[in-house]
Chains A and B, each alone.
Chain A
């Protein structure tokens, strides 16, 4: 008999739903993509509706609904935290009580109200938070057995877990407990450097190559005690998160020469050096944890999940260190991925569904293209209803050639093709794409489309089979989770000393560093996505056509949104974003829309005010 399970993560940050049938991942999506509210933490009713539709089932046909976290244990932690912190923690306690006792505890009621029932089991099941992360990493991976390493801010009590997955399922043997957390340490620096906790960590990682690790010693001597076996403790005297809404406190300020940087103010040398310093500490910790996981598990391969596993610079180092033969990382590693993990954990651990392995030796995550798709007929109906002029090119190769030629001519293109990605990265289904050879493309795309100045280069997508022509990378990186060096012969050396003495980041960023300037970071690295024809044939075809025209099999891939907006989901979202920005071309499945042909786009209000910065 078939078993269908709905996984849910919500009420914290970035809610999501996922549906697994007999161990096969059928659908997964984040609520923000439908509600258009970035990192939407509300109960994921739209994402759930989508998952049920994709599976062609009604809610009463679900065998189970599974929540990704244990609210009793989370409450246990909150209470003990507040008792330890004493009176200053009252405000925090009040907020936590409202959110856990008032909302999270009642997830079963939310599910019943939203779905009209609780499926066949008549109740909601729960997984432990790190088991959900572990399941999201192990079950879709291509490994029959693997060491498991999960790393995040905190889930219930755990911040780090080490274990093993095999035919008997998942075992988590050792953990590190709150408040000692690599995720929270990294978030503390994210906060201190003026970025938003829970989403600005990516910026801190991108800032690191501008800096030198001059504060590394101070961090190690004062903030973290890291043992050889990778276990660690933080010194809570320097952190604010036990008893306030700040990640750091005055003692932390004193250690680093003053208060935190104000968001949106100028980034100074201090922030660049802090970013590099904490990155160095994090990488060292991850390598030690991985060595320990290898020893303990005896497994040759590693799987990872949890928010810290999105640190693709650390992941790249881990790969090159060769501690494990192979590494696989869940792309939806943040809490959204907990929905998928909860469903997988229950499928295998509760219902005993046999594990599905791909006969071709690849993973079973389907390229993470697990969200809604729109047929050509739906797209055309939308365009015709609104009278938006378009050109339809049905032949996939002809279409790829036309779009590739536009890219080569410097046109910036919005690309909506196939099922939407699950996880924080756009992987060619909801992407803005451009020509990486152009020296001005990085600033053009940032200023005219993303409406930001960015110190981070864009990510490249390349064909899986010729990644090594451009990057020192000999494995697939389908989820943009590995940072690899751009090949040395492509790089243009520059004066490092002058660079470190320069506080003007834009001057640095606008200096070409390789023959692919828009995707090469200041340390000559790139955050690579390798594209496999089985995962996304249209995207693959497009890059191949670009290669035939230009000789370069690499394009720029950035998420299809403006800053602070969730990535687009539907053709209507995509059209709106296209018209709000200075993109030249929009591809909606097999329909091409040129900006120059579109009627004027009138909107009430200033949409820029709708979106907050990370």
Chain B
């Protein structure tokens, strides 16, 4: 069953009077629980695609359904609420609130969802444990390595129990070992929690791990391949 469905979505930026077409008539369907990589060279529209799916950016034209919500018809305030309850974001770097500890960063999103204090603590501890940071829950972001910070960000993205986790080049600033480790964690989370994962990358190490790879080129879908059981 398709949980994300786009019909001829376009996004045009206005770059100082010059229109820049970041997405051109993208048609795409993503199934529930898929583990999908969006790949393509820099400037091909990966970030823009993730942003419109996540309700961060508005569409110029086209129709986009995410879960049971018609993104293209929502007001900015609805979109904030939608993001909070449906999307887990992981950005390329500096995802965390610097004044909060690792566990507080994970709790923060649940606080916004008005989850009770005890449940927040418990879930945050659990998630940090599952990303292998149980010993570092009280560290501030600055006291964590880049890889550890990204793992906290993944834990936070899952904390709100979203249907979708969108990660924009999550491994771009990581060394190979950290990148592999993060991918292991994301894969496991995808298996355990059955959330739909979409991540953008132009890192071949990461692309190999995806079960479905959508390639963008100049704002359009170039190729779209699913790997078989033996792929």
Are A and B a genuine interacting pair, yes or no?
no
